[in-house]
């Protein structure tokens, strides 16, 4: 026997390569050698047969393919020789290698059948396969599959003539071996007539007799199979059931096998379901796969937290849930809602959302029709997750579905059990109903630009039809409200209708009464007509609705408020801002709490004063601690209110200062003691009750402030609000922000107010009269005199800049120009620091083009040594704004004036006498940045260059003396970095280079 070349030998290793391309290349090389080199053919055949038992990588695949193709078109060896070599190379008597060698035997037979070169010996090969199957059960299904594949290539006549005599004995009787049962499932359509003669479960047309197949028969078959191959049989079984139109019967028989052993039931059930899902094509088949047992077990698994045994199945369940989701979503558009609804119910009960976040149920719900929407609402609405799901899908439904869902929810909420046990359920149903109604409205708010609240005609019709059913006096109420006329009347009718629905469905008796009273107030408002006083009453009513804890009130309030905005008045701002700045007790309507809060504020002020003088008190405390070692002396401040209440409760038993110095008391008798106990209990309860009421007031007031802020934002952003009203909101909001920031209370409300003021300072497309704006600027200046918080100064500056921009179109009138320059001049001339720098320069920073011709004025102030340095720096900052490229481009001759004015002043500032104290870092940084900015302009450059170039050259020649160590500009580096992102030396070098 001759060995082939080394190249061919190397290809035998390539047969086991996991790379398909490399493996195929090796197969081609070896097959070519077998076909064309007779001298080395025997060696190759022996290697191919022996290699089929190898478990290395892809060896079995590579060797089987090579052997099959080597046998195609005329086998180089006879069947006898191949069998002899197989038995020699693959010994089945060795226990250690028997299983691997048995696989090799099976693959050799498979290659012989697939090659087509041994058709006459097919019966003999099948006999050998069946003999191998009886000895090695784990190969049974694979052997059955190979035999079935071979028989499918033959006609029924050929099978009967050449093979059937070998197969027939194995197919007799009611009990079959696993491989024979598997073979029957595959061949039943092809060989139905032959199988019907021997197998009682197969009819002549190839269909299985499902009614005759007992559960015992299927259990015995699957029991005899290895766990790994049992599910291959199950798959073929289900394929047969599907082809025969008996899916439900076939799946249920397998399901009973899966549940047979409780220890393995969960695993089997999950795997059988997974197999069924891969084959299910329509809603009915999917519904069958989602069995009650699966639903029950998935429901239990969704609640598992710490059981490690059950956790093993969680990954399988998650994968199954994902596959289930994909199947359901992939159902065709023509699928009927009646077919999909059972799936929805099962998935709800299985809590499939706990395993996969694909919104499966929501996507199924979107496909429901009116009938099944009603079914879902009435039968599946028992859990919070179902309610959330309904809310999610409700806006996506068509009008008929939404109408059906609302009516069903309303009926459930109205007729709900009033028992205490059902209170939570009733509350959840009511919440879902109100949120669904809420979603019918469309609220859009884009801060400072847009705000709208709309209700479509079809959604309005849905609501009105619901309201009219069962509401007494609806026609009269509707007629009265519509008497107001306009859009406001329509909105009030909708509000009245929603209040009616809430009143009839709310689970809270007190809340129902409140809704009823509000409905009466709306009728009263409608009767009084459309006037300013009446509008203020309506505004109060809307605020009172916001004050209630229900979230869904806000949408209706915005809806009605939007209709009121075209007739909004300036007084509204003060009215709404007053709500924000009121104390918790005032908003809660509890005067007693208000007094307690006032006392609390006083205590806070006293604590603040104590903090201011903490140094002196620390000394006093130290002396007291040395003088008195008694622990009671260090217990803090005495609560006088508590002491007085306790004295009153104790009566004569209370110890006074005189009693402390006198003789000891003899005590009190039991009767007096009991009375004292009752008095003390009452005293402590009253104190605790006051604290509780204060906390309740705070919980009520804080959300109300936030909601009123949102209402103000809506008014400011709406295009329907008159410009004069928007402008009038500025001062009240500014004062409220100032107060809230100073008091540091209600942080969320303060943030909201700050956001609102910032939005006000950036409103676009708004106009105002000059006199109004200037008056407002004057009032802001007065407000600034009493403000010390830098944050408030910045807010005021932002608003002042905005007001200036309203008058700048693109230039200012002489009176406006004088007013803003006058504000800056007062900032410079003031003896105190009452006017903050940001406020003074806000107009110049926001509208520099309007002040471009005043550069000279600001530069003179900046270099006036009589003015305090921080004010000079602010003036220089203004000059910096006025000499930007875009500003100088729009101002003819401005650059030349700036350069001419700046040159001598800069020369003087950059001439150092060696006194380091003369340099102010921030001022110098601003100066250098200004020069750097002007040096880029040709007009300014022509004025600066002759005067400054020698000065700059002189500075640069003394680099070590000026810029390093203790030089005059050495301490300006950090300021220059902050202002211009460059060091002082780099700035001067840049200026000098630009002036060349």
Task: Quick: pLDDT tens for 193-235.
Answer: 888 888 888 898 889 988 888 888 888 888 767 776 788 889 9
Task: Answer with the residue of higher pLDDT: 874 or 671.
Answer: 874
Q: How many Cβ atoms from other residues are within 10 Å of residue 318's Cβ? A: 15
The span from the CA of 924 to the CA of 971, in Å, is 10
Q: Is 210 helix (H, G, I), strand (E, B) or coil?
A: coil
**Report field, pTM of the whole predicted structure over 0.85:** no
710: left (phi over 0), alpha (psi -120 to 50) or beta: alpha
Q: Is 847 helix (H, G, I), strand (E, B) or coil?
A: coil
Task: Answer with the residue of higher pLDDT: 415 or 482.
Answer: 482
Cβ(613)–Cβ(621) below 8 Å: no
The span from the CA of 213 to the CA of 87, in Å, is 40
Residue 202 sits at φ, ψ, to 5 deg, of -115, 130
- Cα dihedral sign for 681, 684, 688, 690? positive
Q: Is 681 helix (H, G, I), strand (E, B) or coil?
A: helix
**Quick one: pLDDT band at residue 634, thresholds 50, 70, 90?**
very low
Q: Which two tokens stand for residue 677?
A: 């106990």
Cβ(597)–Cβ(698) below 8 Å: no
pLDDT tens digits, 958-967: 877 788 777 7
Task: Check residue 521 and give its pLDDT.
Answer: 93
The span from the CA of 222 to the CA of 205, in Å, is 25
Mean pLDDT for all residues in the chain: 82
Task: Check residue 418 and give its pLDDT.
Answer: 63
Q: Is 529 helix (H, G, I), strand (E, B) or coil?
A: coil
pLDDT tens digits, 524-562: 999 988 788 888 999 999 999 988 878 889 999 999 999
Cβ(499)–Cβ(514) below 8 Å: no
pLDDT at 615 over 60: no
- Cα dihedral sign for 464, 469, 471, 474? positive
Q: How many Cβ atoms from other residues are within 10 Å of residue 328's Cβ? A: 24
Cβ(27)–Cβ(69) below 8 Å: yes
The pLDDT of 513-527, averaged and rounded, is 92
The pLDDT of 936-951, averaged and rounded, is 88
Cβ(104)–Cβ(97) below 8 Å: no
Beta strand 441-446 with 450-455: parallel, antiparallel or unpaired? antiparallel
The span from the CA of 247 to the CA of 635, in Å, is 82
Task: Answer with the residue of higher pLDDT: 417 or 627.
Answer: 417
Directed axis angle between helix 591-612 and helix 614-627, to 10°?
90
Task: Check residue 365 and give its pLDDT.
Answer: 84
pLDDT at 609 over 50: no
pLDDT at 131 over 70: yes
Task: Check residue 460 and give its pLDDT.
Answer: 92
The pLDDT of 90-117, averaged and rounded, is 90
Q: Which of 221-225, 497-501, 816-820 has the lowest mean pLDDT?
A: 221-225
The pLDDT of 665-694, averaged and rounded, is 59
Cβ(520)–Cβ(456) below 8 Å: no
pLDDT at 632 over 50: no
Task: Check residue 606 and give its pLDDT.
Answer: 40
The span from the CA of 295 to the CA of 386, in Å, is 16
Q: Which of these, 262, 265, 257, lies nearest to 216 by C-alpha position?
A: 257
The span from the CA of 714 to the CA of 138, in Å, is 75
Task: Check residue 344 and give its pLDDT.
Answer: 83
* Beta-bridge mates of residue 454: 442
Task: Check residue 602 and give its pLDDT.
Answer: 43
Task: Check residue 691 and give its pLDDT.
Answer: 56
The pLDDT of 165-171, averaged and rounded, is 81
pLDDT at 686 over 70: no
Task: Check residue 715 and give its pLDDT.
Answer: 92
pLDDT at 762 over 80: yes
Share of the chain above pLDDT 90, in %: 24
pLDDT at 410 over 80: yes
The pLDDT of 346-369, averaged and rounded, is 77
pLDDT tens digits, 573-590: 888 988 888 887 887 764
Task: Check residue 625 and give its pLDDT.
Answer: 42
The span from the CA of 887 to the CA of 852, in Å, is 7
Task: Check residue 713 and give its pLDDT.
Answer: 92
The span from the CA of 440 to the CA of 80, in Å, is 83
- C-alpha distance from residue 500 to each of 454, 506, 921 (Å): 20, 10, 70
Burial (Cβ within 10 Å: 0-12, 13-18, ≥19) of residue 447? middle
Q: Which of 20-34, 88-102, 217-231, 453-467 has the lowest mean pLDDT?
A: 217-231
Within 665-789, where are the H helices? 670-717, 723-728, 730-743, 747-760, 770-785
- C-alpha distance from residue 436 to each of 379, 393, 439, 462, 504 (Å): 18, 10, 5, 12, 16
Task: Check residue 960 and give its pLDDT.
Answer: 76
**Quick one: pLDDT band at residue 802, thresholds 50, 70, 90?**
very high
Task: Check residue 614 and give its pLDDT.
Answer: 39
Q: Which two tokens stand for residue 188?
A: 């039943």
Burial (Cβ within 10 Å: 0-12, 13-18, ≥19) of residue 485? exposed
pLDDT at 594 over 50: no
pLDDT at 616 over 50: no
The span from the CA of 808 to the CA of 791, in Å, is 26
The DSSP secondary structure of 549-571, one letter per residue, reads: S-TTHHHHHHHHHHHHGGG--TH
Q: Which two tokens stand for residue 407?
A: 């009516």
Find the helix or strand (DSSP H, E) in which 977 lies: helix 973-980
pLDDT tens digits, 447-498: 888 899 999 999 999 999 988 887 778 889 999 999 888 899 999 999 999 9
Cα Rg of the chain, angstroms: 46
Q: Which of these, 48, 50, 53, 2, lies nearest to 29 by C-alpha position?
A: 48
Task: Check residue 57 and give its pLDDT.
Answer: 82
Q: How many Cβ atoms from other residues are within 10 Å of residue 242's Cβ? A: 17
Q: Which of 74-78, 511-515, 865-869 has the lowest mean pLDDT?
A: 74-78
Task: Check residue 178 and give its pLDDT.
Answer: 80
């Amino acid at each position: 026997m001759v060995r082939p070349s080394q190249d061919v030998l190397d290809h035998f290793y390539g047969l086991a390569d996991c790379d398909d391309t490399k493996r195929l290349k090796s197969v081609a090389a070896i097959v070519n050698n077998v076909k064309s080199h007779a001298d080395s053919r025997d060696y190759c055949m022996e290697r191919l047969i022996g290699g089929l038992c190898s478990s290395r990588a892809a060896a079995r695949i590579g060797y089987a393919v090579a052997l099959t193709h080597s046998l195609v078109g005329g086998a180089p060896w006879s069947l006898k020789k191949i069998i002899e070599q197989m038995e020699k190379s693959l010994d089945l008597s060795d226990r250690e290698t028997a299983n691997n060698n048995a696989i090799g035997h099976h693959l050799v037979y498979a290659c012989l059948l697939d090659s087509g070169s041994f058709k006459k010996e097919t019966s003999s090969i099948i006999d050998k396969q069946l003999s191998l199957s009886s000895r090695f059960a784990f190969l049974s299904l694979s052997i059955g599959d190979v035999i079935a594949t071979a028989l499918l290539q033959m006609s029924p006549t050929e099978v009967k003539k050449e093979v059937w005599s070998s197969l027939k004995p194995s197919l007799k009787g009611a009990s079959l071996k696993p491989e024979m049962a598997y073979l029957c499932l595959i061949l039943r359509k092809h060989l139905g007539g032959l199988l019907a003669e021997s197998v009682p479960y197969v009819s002549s047309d190839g269909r299985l007799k499902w009614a005759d197949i007992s559960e015992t028969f299927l259990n015995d078959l699957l029991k005899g199979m290895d766990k790994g191959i049992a599910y291959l049989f199950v798959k073929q079984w289900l394929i047969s059931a599907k082809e025969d139109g008996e899916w439900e019967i076939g799946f249920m028989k397998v399901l009973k096998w899966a549940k047979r052993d409780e220890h393995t039931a969960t695993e089997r059930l999950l795997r059988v379901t997974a197999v069924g899902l891969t084959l299910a094509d329509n809603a009915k088949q999917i519904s069958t796969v989602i069995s009650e047992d699966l639903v029950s077990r998935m429901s239990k698994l969704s609640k598992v937290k710490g059981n490690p045994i059950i956790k093993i199945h969680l990954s399988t369940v998650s994968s199954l849930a994902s596959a289930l989701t994909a199947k359901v979503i992939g159902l065709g558009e023509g699928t009927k809602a009646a077919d999909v609804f059972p799936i929805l119910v099962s998935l709800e009960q299985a809590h499939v959302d706990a395993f996969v976040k694909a919104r499966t149920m929501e996507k199924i719900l979107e496909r429901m029709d009116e009938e099944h929407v009603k079914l879902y609402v009435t039968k599946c609405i028992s859990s919070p997750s179902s309610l959330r799901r309904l809310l999610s899908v409700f806006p996506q439904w068509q009008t008929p579905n939404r109408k059906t869902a609302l009516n069903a929810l309303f009926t459930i909420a109205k007729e709900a059990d009033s028992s205490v046990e059902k209170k939570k359920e009733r509350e959840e149903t009511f919440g879902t109903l109100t949120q669904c109604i809420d979603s019918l409205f469309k609220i859009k708010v884009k801060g400072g630009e847009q705000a709208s609240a709309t209700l479509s005609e079809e959604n309005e019709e849905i609501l009105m039809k619901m309201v009219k059913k069962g509401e007494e006096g609806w026609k009269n109420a509707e007629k009265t409200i519509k008497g107001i006329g306009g859009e406001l009347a329509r909105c009030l009718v909708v509000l009245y209708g929603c209040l009616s629905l809430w009143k009839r469905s709310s689970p809270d008796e007190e809340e129902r009464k409140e809704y009823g009273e509000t409905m009466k107030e709306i009728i009263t408002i409608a009767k009084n007509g459309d006037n300013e006083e009446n509008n203020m009453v309506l505004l109060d009513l809307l605020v009172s609705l916001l004050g209630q804890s229900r979230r869904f009130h806000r949408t209706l309030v915005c809806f009605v408020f939007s209709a009121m905005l075209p007739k909004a008045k300036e007084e509204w701002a003060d009215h709404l801002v007053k709500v924000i700045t009121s104390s918790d007790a005032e908003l809660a309507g509890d005067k007693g709490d208000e007094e307690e809060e006032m006392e609390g504020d006083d205590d806070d002020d006293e604590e603040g004063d104590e903090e201011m003088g903490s140094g002196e008190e620390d000394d006093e405390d130290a002396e007291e601690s040395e003088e008195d070692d008694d622990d009671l002396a260090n217990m803090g401040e005495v609560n006088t209110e508590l002491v007085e209440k306790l004295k009153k409760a104790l009566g004569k038993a209370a110890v006074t200062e005189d009693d402390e110095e006198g003789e000891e008391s003899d005590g009190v008798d039991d009767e007096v003691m009991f009375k004292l106990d009752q008095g003390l209990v009452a005293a402590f309860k009253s104190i605790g009750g006051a604290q509780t009421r204060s906390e309740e007031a705070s919980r009520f007031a804080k959300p109300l402030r936030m909601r009123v802020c949102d209402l103000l934002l809506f008014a400011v952003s709406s295009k329907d609000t008159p410009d004069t009203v928007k402008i009038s909101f500025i001062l009240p909001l500014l004062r409220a922000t100032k107060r809230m920031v100073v008091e540091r209370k209600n942080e969320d409300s303060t943030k909201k107010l700050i956001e609102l003021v910032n939005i006000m300072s950036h409103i676009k497309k708004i106009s105002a009269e000059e006199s109004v704006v200037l008056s407002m600027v004057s009032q802001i200046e007065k407000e600034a005199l009493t403000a010390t918080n830098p944050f408030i100064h910045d807010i005021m500056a932002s608003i002042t800049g905005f007001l200036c921009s309203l008058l700048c179109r693109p230039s200012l009138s002489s009176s406006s120009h004088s007013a803003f320059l006058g504000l800056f001049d007062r900032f410079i001339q003031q003896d105190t620091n009452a006017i903050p720098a940001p406020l003074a320069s806000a107009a110049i920073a926001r509208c520099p083009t309007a002040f471009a011709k005043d550069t000279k004025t600001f530069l003179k102030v900046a270099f006036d040594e009589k003015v305090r340095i921080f004010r000079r720096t602010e003036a220089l900052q203004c000059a910096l704004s006025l000499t930007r490229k875009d500003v100088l481009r729009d101002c003819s001759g401005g650059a030349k004036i700036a350069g001419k004015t700046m040159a001598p002043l800069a020369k003087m500032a950059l001439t150092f006498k060696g006194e380091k104290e003369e340099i102010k870092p921030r001022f110098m940084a601003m100066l250098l940045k200004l020069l750097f900015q002007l040096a880029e302009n040709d007009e300014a450059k022509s004025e600066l260059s002759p005067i400054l170039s020698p000065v700059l050259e002189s500075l640069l020649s003394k680099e070590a003396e000026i810029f390093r160590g203790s030089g005059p500009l050495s301490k300006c580096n950090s300021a220059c970095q902050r202002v211009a992102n460059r060091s002082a030396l780099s700035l001067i070098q840049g200026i000098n280079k630009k002036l060349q």
